[in-house]
Homo-oligomer: A and B are copies of this chain.
């Protein structure tokens, strides 16, 4: 899946691994992210598969790899994009803890939930800042849609957690 994400990020032009990581941090990171330890090996694999071509620029004696989509890579990406996704899991540690909350005393439960809700609020602020930055640029509409989704999702979480607290004081 990470392969396909990397190909997707090359759809609007060639980039270095580092540039892609930076872009991710400011766009998809809240719902999909990965680190350099995936990016660089994946690009080597994509190169041997013929999905990307690399231009080894040597910038001031330092090697610098700029990756670009090949026709095959573009086709592979678009084929993947057309397939209906499976329903995903939440896989949220917070949910797992709540599942076991009956084993925690009420005081700790409340303190933890309140602190967590606070974190959620901060997170929503951060996403709001990213959205505002992008909305003033000419971001593609569906990319914008995922950002808006993120904000609403964490808002939904906040609301639900609040309700949980209220119901089970």
Contact = CB atoms under 8 A, between A and B. Distances in A.
A112 B98 CA distance: 33
Nearest to A102: B140
Count of chain copies: 2
Nearest 10 Cβ contacts at the A-B interface: A101-B142, A31-B90, A88-B92, A102-B140, A85-B94, A85-B93, A31-B95, A8-B100, A99-B146, A102-B142
Interface residues of A, number: 60
Interface in A29-88: 29-33, 77-78, 81-82, 84-88
A85 B28 contact: no
Contacts of A78: 103-104
A108 B82 CA distance: 7
A38 B168 CA distance: 33
Contacts of A116: 84-85, 87
Given A81-B100, A84-B112, 11 more contacts: A8-B100, A27-B99, A29-B89, A31-B92, A32-B99, A77-B103, A81-B104, A145-B164, A145-B167, A149-B160, A156-B156
